[in-house]
Structure 1
Amino acid sequence: MTSTAARPAGAAAPDVPTPGAPAGPPAPAPADPGAAGPRDRHARRFGLPVATCLVMGNIVGGGIFLLPASVAPFGTISLVAFAVLTLGAVALALVFGRLAARLPQTGGPYVYARAAFGDFAGFLAAWSYWITTWVSNAALAVASVGYLSVLFPAVGAHRWSMCLAALAVQWLPALANLAGTRYVGAVQLVATVLKFAPLLLVAVGGLFFFDPANLGPFRATDQSAVGAVSASAAILLFSYLGVESAAVSAGEVRDPARNVGRATILGTVGAATVYLLGTLSVFGLVAHDTLVSSRAPFTDAVDAMFGGTWGGTAVACAAVVSMVGALNGWTLLSAQTPYAAARDGLFPKPFARRRRGVPVVGVLVTVVLASGLTVYNYTAGSRGVFEVLVLVTTFTATVPYLLSTAAQIHFLLTGRAEQVHRGRLARDAALACLAFGFSMWLVAGSGYAAVYQGVLFLFAGVLCYAVMSARRQRAAA
């Protein structure tokens, strides 16, 4: 049910269509009052190449460097799971493209959920997405320390040197964000090129050194084929988180109705290609028995291709660049959704402030929270609590996906489509249902503990919504 709470005086006009309005193109998005003016040389809208790099860079973080070893125990049947997941991810990407064409505004899932189901659903999408981003940023920074210690052994000498390195990895991308969207795009483009070069070297070049004898059995466990695919898929499910990246930053993309959908598809397909070819090449380069116990499968693959032991350094460099690039993109996304919600009075007003095209308060709050969680991780000396929080994000990340795909189904059933063509309607409905099923699979794959704790974490935001909703009503009285 759509909330009937009045908008506070002076607040930005909602970006959502009026419930019950006749079908047709939505009204143009209102001008962003906080956006940088045309003379601000530090703010620049992203073109298609940078938007595509944002999607690819956020999907492919550091996990790709361990994925082949993670799924090797199931055998080469895990490639089938990869293919199935890729179809689901592409369907989700297509849905985000269609939603962005309908509502090309910053906020992505928040905008779509609020347009379809009202303020509360929009808030839940924004809250859950925000939780996901800053906790994931802390996890990426902590994970990067392992690769940094390969390049600089002194980093891993003491837990506080590791903590300082993790904080530096978080704050450098944050500073790039604070410098303006112009620099965010530049860093993202360079990082994507640098990290994909070695990955493509293994993914494509490795096929020339491919040895079928290294593949091992098709099914390496006693499970049925369906069971093995499901088990390996549970590990791979979250490899595609980030397909919404361009949609969340739609307000910073030139011609978003056209470019967001293209960037989402190109980025998702590009990341899927690297995943599939990279995993296949590693399977064919490293003997199965070795791969199962490998801690650095891409290092082993590079060593198998060229000999020597320099593969570890090369892969460590690629991993650090990959994670810094991912942090650069995720830091921007972590501020965009709260920014959109704050403009509508559903998040604290400071989150709506922008400078040089970037929501500065959102960036600062996010990096401070992630830094606090990082320090706590090293202070406590135990990964228990930290791992629980990271596990929670596997659930909170899927909440915006479910709400977005449900919103698309809602728009199609109510006839509120930007361009209603009968043939396209059937296609969009099939894609939306497939994407909704994929999102449900993501939830199921996160496990009972993650869903239980994630729901508690999600409902903690209800108190924040109650305060913001009451404030809006008082302002309107």
Structure 2
Amino acid sequence: MHDTGTAPQPDPADTAEGQGKHARRFGLPAATALVMGNIIGGGIFLLPASVAPFGTISLVAFGVLTLGAICLALVFGKLANQHPRTGGPYVYAREAFGDFAGFLAAWSYWITAWVSNAALAVAAVGYLDVLIPLGDSRYAMMLAALVIQWLPAAANLAGTRYVGAVQVVATVLKFAPLLLVALGGLFTFEAGNMGPFQASGSGPVGAISASAAILLFSYLGVESAAVSAGEVRNPRRNVGRATILGTLGAAFVYLLGTLSVFGNVPHDRLVDSGAPFSDAVNHMFGGTWGGTLVACAAVISILGALNGWTLLSAQTPYAAARDGLFPAVFATKRRGVPTVGVLVTVVLASLLTVYNYTAGSQGVFEILVLVTTFTATVPYLLATAAQLYFLFSGQSARVDRGRLVRDGVLTALAAAFSMWLVAGSGYAAVYQGVLFLFTGVLVYACMAAHKKGAALREQHATE
């Protein structure tokens, strides 16, 4: 273990308070399922068609992104070993750079979580419409989206015992059809369906960058186990392992699934496909039942992702509230779950969903979804910067020069990957994201003033 100079503080909710028969720490399987389930939401079902216009060169971009995600996962594993506390990037940034950096990490991650939850719920409605026709009523779709959000929230409020169980079941159920296409599709693979290596005229570098910009959002969630380290059994051992195993499992499904779809659906059809996995299943087995199968898998996948993201959205504010950087009410924990954080998150996501359907502001909503790619990179960058600080400031004891160089290079690669995420978000998303950050600065000013005032009043009272 590396000595960082700061001993982790025990979480009172992890001892007697806040625990009960419904609170149970995640083992390695549940923690791994949390990572995989959060990385793989509903996007995998549309990704092959989204990158098809660039040609099979998009698989190269996928490979590069996979390496970057693995580097980031390794860094989170090492940081969790040093600081096995709930909060993930928030904890690392605060330990290295103080309260303000920690608050920015917590604030950005919280925005990422609840906006992403709204986006996932709205995306699930499209698949649910295949199973249960909702018609053209915006209000029926809105109601369905709200139900999809509140079901995982109810599982979270029931306790971590149920969160872990739901996550494992959802991960297994959604991976069955994905693996069917990823592995079974290799037996019906036709090289002639692959299309050109480079279908766009922007040059190899431009094509890779453009397709990467679409794929970037697909790897958000590698930090899931680190954020919930306080709810993982033996976090120094299991968080790092779960992060690596979950990321590798997601990468395997992403790459092999996309390759199989490319080889089973002709390129000219894939470019315009609204359900590429359905088309692949239809090619593999014949008939038209693939759409129903994939719709079921998509709904299960998104419910599993919402289950995990709802927990994560409450964990970071909980950790910050314990340190006085978020309102104290967020530190409330029952059955192992920060209940106030869960409720506030699902309410905010629900309000955003209602706004999306009633105002018909689809374009604005899509921009907000892109903002999550930018806001997620703020805690990523702060976490990698914290690791560089720990490595080169002499706080990592018993690290020989060879390991120091290796870990430094790994962290630099993870930081570069995070910067690529920022670049891929686009100007509009970065612009909107900065506004969100500046709003957080004002919130921090109010919280810091309140904290300082309370300290001064206590000082005067003792004089």
Q: TM-score, normalised by structure 1?
A: 0.93
SS at match of 2:187: helix
Structure 2: distance between partners of 1:90 and 1:379: 40
Structure 2: distance between partners of 1:422 and 1:156: 64
Give the aligned CA root-mean-square deviation in angstroms.
Answer: 1.2
Which residue in 1 is equivalent to 2:64? 84
Aligned 8 A contact 1:25 1:419 in 2: no
Structure 2: distance between partners of 1:393 and 1:76: 27
Which residues of structure 2 form unaligned runs of 5+? Answer: 457-463
Correspondence 1:202-281 to 2 at 5 A: 202-281=181-260
Amino acid in structure 2 at the alignment position of 1:317? C
Per-residue displacement from partner, 1:258-290 (whole Å, max 9, x unpaired)? 110000000001000000000000000000111
Task: Select the residue among 104, 108, 114 that pairs with 1:128.
Answer: 108
Which residue in 2 is equivalent to 1:33? 12
Structure 2: distance between partners of 1:418 and 1:245: 27
Correspondence 1:44-443 to 2 at 5 A: 44-153=24-133, 155-417=134-396, 419-443=398-422
In the superposition, relative to structure 1, how do residues 366 and 36 fare at CA in structure 2: closer, same or farther (>3 Å)? Answer: farther
Aligned 8 A contact 1:177 1:358 in 2: yes
Amino acid in structure 1 at the alignment position of 2:45? F
Which residue in 2 is equivalent to 1:14? none
Amino acid in structure 2 at the alignment position of 1:295? G
Structure 2: distance between partners of 1:156 and 1:371: 21
Instruction: Give the deviation of 1:422 after TM superposition.
Output: 2.2
Q: How many residues align?
A: 454
Amino acid in structure 2 at the alignment position of 1:54? L
Structure 2: distance between partners of 1:72 and 1:146: 21
Structure 2: distance between partners of 1:126 and 1:204: 39
Stretch of structure 1 that moved more, 427-436 or 228-237: 228-237
Amino acid in structure 2 at the alignment position of 1:87? L
Per-residue displacement from partner, 1:300-357 (whole Å, max 9, x unpaired)? 0000000000000000000000000000000000000000000000000000010000
Stretch of structure 1 that moved more, 356-365 or 232-241: 232-241
Amino acid in structure 1 at the alignment position of 2:74? L
Instruction: Give the deviation of 1:391 after TM superposition.
Output: 2.1
Instruction: Give the deviation of 1:419 after TM superposition.
Output: 4.2
SS at match of 2:418: helix
Task: Select the residue among 411, 434, 449 that pairs with 2:428.
Answer: 449
Which residue in 2 is equivalent to 1:4? none
Which residues of structure 1 form unaligned runs of 5+? Answer: 1-22
Structure 2: distance between partners of 1:323 and 1:77: 28
Amino acid in structure 1 at the alignment position of 2:159? G
Percent identity (aligned): 77
Stretch of structure 1 that moved more, 26-35 or 61-70: 26-35
Stretch of structure 1 that moved more, 102-111 or 411-420: 411-420
Aligned 8 A contact 1:35 1:355 in 2: no
In the superposition, relative to structure 1, how do residues 358 and 242 fare at CA in structure 2: closer, same or farther (>3 Å)? Answer: same
Structure 1: distance between partners of 2:68 and 2:280: 29
Instruction: Give the deviation of 1:392 after TM superposition.
Output: 1.6
Structure 1: distance between partners of 2:432 and 2:229: 31
Structure 1: distance between partners of 2:327 and 2:289: 50
Which residue in 2 is equivalent to 1:11? none
Aligned 8 A contact 1:36 1:354 in 2: no
Structure 2: distance between partners of 1:122 and 1:388: 26
Aligned 8 A contact 2:3 2:82 in 1: no
Instruction: Give the deviation of 1:32 after TM superposition.
Output: 1.5
SS at match of 1:207: coil
Instruction: Give the deviation of 1:238 after TM superposition.
Output: 1.4
SS at match of 1:218: coil
SS at match of 1:29: coil
Instruction: Give the deviation of 1:36 after TM superposition.
Output: 6.0
The answer on 1:43 being equivalent to 2:60 is no
SS at match of 1:76: coil
Structure 1: distance between partners of 2:208 and 2:444: 40
Aligned 8 A contact 1:409 1:432 in 2: yes
SS at match of 1:460: helix
Aligned 8 A contact 1:26 1:102 in 2: no
Aligned 8 A contact 1:35 1:354 in 2: no
In the superposition, relative to structure 1, how do residues 418 and 247 fare at CA in structure 2: closer, same or farther (>3 Å)? Answer: farther
Instruction: Give the deviation of 1:25 after TM superposition.
Output: 5.3
Per-residue displacement from partner, 1:413-441 (whole Å, max 9, x unpaired)? 10212542322211110000000000000
Structure 2: distance between partners of 1:348 and 1:419: 39
Structure 2: distance between partners of 1:291 and 1:308: 18
Structure 2: distance between partners of 1:386 and 1:226: 30
Structure 2: distance between partners of 1:178 and 1:128: 23
Amino acid in structure 1 at the alignment position of 2:93? A
Aligned 8 A contact 1:26 1:103 in 2: no
Structure 2: distance between partners of 1:370 and 1:219: 39
Structure 2: distance between partners of 1:179 and 1:102: 30
Amino acid in structure 1 at the alignment position of 2:225? A
Structure 1: distance between partners of 2:67 and 2:13: 38
SS at match of 1:34: helix
SS at match of 1:242: coil
In the superposition, relative to structure 1, how do residues 27 and 223 fare at CA in structure 2: closer, same or farther (>3 Å)? Answer: closer
Structure 1: distance between partners of 2:304 and 2:250: 14
Instruction: Give the deviation of 1:53 after TM superposition.
Output: 0.4
Q: TM-score, normalised by structure 2?
A: 0.96
Stretch of structure 1 that moved more, 217-226 or 118-127: 217-226
